[in-house]
A and B are shown apart, each in its own frame.
Chain A
């Protein structure tokens, strides 16, 4: 009778108790003749037991709600709100509660295009325009640096519109976060201290979008897109003042950039 030689694979399968009975008997006989190997096999078996014992309690735990299959399937059917969008919505909700803009209704459906831009501009206006300590991060004296900063982060050449002919002085600006990436925020004021903000960011859609008026609380805004770059001008001023200003900006940026 010829016996197939015992291989390392046989040893492993013996440890795992996965050998057919005849082969198992052959390995057992072999181990009896090689006690050192027998000790190694015994040690490997105890290792397996220890590993199973170590992680067995996990399967006894109740499955957490986050892994409820029905919930996960349901969530998939609904349009997904990525975590950062949910976080941004939470911030806006909190701000809405404080500022009383009544944004809650609009947040249930994530906005896109110029509408989203208008909402972002209103949110930033509500946060930064009333700020007495640090309304802007970079002052107007650094307007070249501001333009360079925005151009670098928005990944395209961006100019800083001059509204001085209309009586609005550039105060400065800052980079702000939106659910659609970074945006440049510029702030202007008039001799009475009335502030305006203008938000600029690249749009998901290339090309132009017509100007649209939007209102949030006491603030009015005008949002549009030009050559893939979105603009929104927001202020508490009379629409009769703001609208011509927005038109003026649209006209000058078209020639400048």
Chain B
């Protein structure tokens, strides 16, 4: 059991980061991580001892996030009224968030769910391609193609928006 604490605890900040990047709302993200940790505690005895704890935790978290995002998508317009202001706040700017970040997160939110997961796991969480494939239960080839598409799509969304903005606000430094 102390083994479990020793192996899981250092990973919690990164799990929070992945959940936050996927869900954007901090409270929802932490609830998701809590759910993930509870499951991890419950399933710890059945875990394959030789398996990597980090990949295992990301997989639990990712699956919970996907099922939650799909539920939200299904509910769609009938989102409870009291949830709406918070959901709007989640993408609203705050004083710590630059215009660049706002465009970045808006583009991220616009990505198809399966591309977003790959991009975040590889770019932000620093998982190897093989680990990302394991977390998402997809072949490495699929990881690579989704990664390429996610990057191109993000850049297109961010730079394309700038091109169409008449004010020409500097979102990202233009490539020379």
Contact of B63 with A by CB under 8 A: no
Q: What total count of A-B pairs have CB within 8 Å?
A: 97
Contact of B119 with A by CB under 8 A: yes
Q: Would A50 and B172 be within 8 Å (CB), given that A66-B34, A67-B30, A70-B5 are in contact?
A: yes
Minimum CB–CB distance from B37 to chain A (whole Å) comes to 5
Residues of B within 8 A of A69 (CB): 4-5, 8-9, 12, 37, 41
Residues of B within 8 A of A16 (CB): 122-123
Interface segment, one of A39-47, A122-130, A178-186, A224-232:
A39-47
Q: Would A12 and B34 be within 8 Å (CB), given that A43-B155, A55-B20, A59-B14 are in contact?
A: no
With CB as the reference atom, state the residue of chain B lying closest to A70.
Answer: B5
CB < 8 Å neighbour of A67 from B16, B17, B145: B16
Contact of B65 with A by CB under 8 A: no
Complexed CA–CA distance, A39 and B101 (Å): 21
Indicate if the CB atoms of A59 and B13 lie closer than 8 Å: yes
Over the window 65-79 of chain A, the binary record of Cβ atoms lying under 8 Å from chain B Cβ atoms (1 yes, 0 no) is 011011011001000
A residues 19-49 touching B (CB-CB < 8 Å): 39-40, 42-44, 46-48
Contact of A9 with B by CB under 8 A: yes
Residues of B within 8 A of A18 (CB): 128-129
Q: Would A67 and B38 be within 8 Å (CB), given that A51-B123, A59-B16 are in contact?
A: no
Over the window 133-176 of chain B, the binary record of Cβ atoms lying under 8 Å from chain A Cβ atoms (1 yes, 0 no) is 00000000000110110010011001100000000000011010
Identify whether the interface residues of B are mostly helix, strand, loop, or mixed.
helix
Residues of A within 8 A of B55 (CB): none
Indicate if the CB atoms of A63 and B12 lie closer than 8 Å: yes
Residues of B within 8 A of A58 (CB): 13, 16-17, 20
Complexed CA–CA distance, A66 and B37 (Å): 10
Residues of B within 8 A of A39 (CB): 175
Contact of B42 with A by CB under 8 A: yes
Indicate if the CB atoms of A72 and B37 lie closer than 8 Å: yes
With CB as the reference atom, state the residue of chain A lying closest to B44.
Answer: A73
Q: Would A73 and B41 be within 8 Å (CB), given that A12-B147, A15-B151, A54-B104 are in contact?
A: yes
With CB as the reference atom, state the residue of chain B lying closest to A44.
Answer: B151
Residues of B within 8 A of A46 (CB): 172-173
Complexed CA–CA distance, A59 and B154 (Å): 23
With CB as the reference atom, state the residue of chain A lying closest to B15.
Answer: A67
Over the window 111-123 of chain B, the binary record of Cβ atoms lying under 8 Å from chain A Cβ atoms (1 yes, 0 no) is 0000000011011
Q: Can you report 8 residue pairs joining A to B where beta carbons are below 8 Å apart? A: A43-B159, A50-B101, A51-B21, A51-B104, A52-B123, A58-B13, A67-B30, A72-B41
Q: Which residues of B contact A (CB under 8 A)?
A: 1, 4-5, 8-9, 12-14, 16-17, 20-21, 30-31, 33-34, 37-38, 41-42, 100-101, 104-105, 108, 119-120, 122-124, 128-129, 144-145, 147-148, 151, 154-155, 158-159, 172-173, 175
Closest 9 CB pairs of A and B: A59-B13, A58-B17, A48-B123, A9-B144, A44-B151, A39-B175, A55-B17, A58-B20, A55-B21
